[in-house]
Amino acid sequence: SSSCGDDKKRRVCYYYDPGISTVDYGEGHVMVPHRVTMAHNLVAAYGLLRDMRRLRTAPATEAELAEVHDGDYVALLRDLTPDTYRRDDGGIGDRARGREIGVAGNNGCVDNPVFDHLWDYCRRYSGGSLAAARALVSGDSDIAINWSGGMHHACRGNAKGFCYVNDIVLAIRELLGHFRRVLYVDIDVHHGDGVEQAFEASNRVMTVSFHQYGGGFFPKSGNINDAGDKCSLNVPLRQGIGDEEYRGLFEPIMARVMEVFQPEAVVLQCGADSLSGDRLGELNLTLNGHANCVSFLRSFNLPLLLLGGGGYTINHVASCWCNETAVAIGKQIPDDIPKHGTDLFYLNQNYKLHYTLSNSHNNHNTAKSIDDIRQKALKNLSTLKL
Ligand code: ZLS
Ligand code: CA
Ligand code: ZN
């Protein structure tokens, strides 16, 4: 058995839009939306779809997206295609305007390229997060999942870090219509800057991000004291942190957050780039270390929204989100991938869900640096502006 959550059942609903599987950021880009389809195929192979309600929903509308983004940015995204972008005529796809909003032509060396069906993609992944939030608001579900969401860097008026539309901000706004206080937790290896920024003026939303920090690691924000007097907390980590040390920060810090903030709902961004062996992240978590965050927050028994995010070694991402779907349900699943006969992706994992790495990043965290961060984080929590 592999999942590490408790076995108490929850009503889980799950959103998956097959329309996302063909989205392509361009040749050589590290963000591969197809990994969500791979995760879905594993979820199906393990028979987990039978234990969840499947959400079918409409893509988010322009009006819904304009609630959390500037109207002219949304209109621009709507009209932006590789074709309109190439027309350097001062119009909708003008290159200079593109630079302003953080997108650039699809030449294979930019974070936010303009690709085919970009607008449709944005509407679909945000529609999923919105629908998932609504399933929690209505009380129909205890846990709602959208692995294609979690695009935490998108800002009001510009794209950033592979993210165009901030589905998390959209979902949290929806939750705020019903819940007094919403907690946002972000275990993606990158700082959840877009979400933190969107709610920095609100004491009804607390944002907490754990992330790699230092040495110019993107987006360079999120130091421990950065958000001191605001309703947010940052936990900066050095390369190579492993399961035990991560857990030694996550559990005491989140237990205290629960105590002081008393949320009525929780949103967890489960970016899988904090896993060992990621192409971008340099942390050293195993599937179990990552899933422990899900099972720990689940144990508080509050309405829980699970979202995806980063994750650039795509077979690891699929394993991670499948395992966490099982944790959400409260079901133990075997390490042997069922019906693996044709899935060559898992050949290098020996058709096992859990993978092991031969070489991982050296641990640049020390017992003292970890202890220091824990102390500082807990101290920041005692002076939180509520
Ligand atoms: O959190 O570090 C940067 C910015 C740059 C360096 C890279 N160049 C292309 C642009 C300028 C300073 N960007 C980061 C963004 C990381 C976004 C993480 C998103 C999330 O996981 C949530 C979904 C970055 N790190 C690595 C890359 N970009 C990167 C590496 C390799 C490539 C290929 C595709 C594209 C261009 C070549 C790319 C980006
Ligand atoms: Ca993070
Ligand atoms: Zn990331």
Q: What is the pLDDT of residue 261?
A: 97
* pLDDT reported for residue 227: 62
- Residue 107's pLDDT is 61
> Within a domain: residue 78?
no
Handedness of CA 369, 370, 371, 372 (dihedral sign): positive
Pocket-forming residues, ligand 1, beta carbon under 6 Å: 28-30, 109-111, 151-153, 161-163, 188, 190, 218, 271, 273, 280, 309-310
Helix 167-176 with 118-137: angle, nearest 10 deg: 30
Strand 265-269 to 304-307 pairing: parallel
**Which residue puts its alpha carbon closest to atom 22 of ligand 1?**
310
Q: What is the pLDDT of residue 348?
A: 87
- Position 103 scores a pLDDT of 83
Q: Which ligand is nearest to the CA of 207?
A: 2
Q: According to the model, what pLDDT value does residue 384 have?
A: 85
Question: Which atom of ligand 1 has the smallest separation from the CA of 26?
Answer: 34
Instruction: Residue 33: give the domain boundaries.
Output: 12-56+126-382
Q: What's the pLDDT score for residue 3? A: 47
Q: Which two tokens stand for residue 22?
A: 């063909």
Pairing verdict, β 304-307 and 182-186? unpaired
The pLDDT, as a whole number, for residue 94 is 63
| CATH (domain of 156) | 3.40.800.20
Residues annotated as part of the active site:
153
Residue 222 in domain: yes
In a domain, 114, yes or no: no
Does the residue 2 lie in any domain? Answer: no
CA-closest residue to ligand 1 atom 27:
111
Is 334 part of a structural domain of the chain?
A: yes
* Low-confidence residues of the chain: pLDDT under 70: 1-5, 87-96, 100, 106-108, 227-229
**Is residue 64 included in any domain, yes or no?**
no
Q: Report pLDDT for 91.
A: 52
Q: Structural domain tally of the chain?
A: 1
How many other CB atoms sit within 10 Å of the CB of residue 99?
Answer: 11
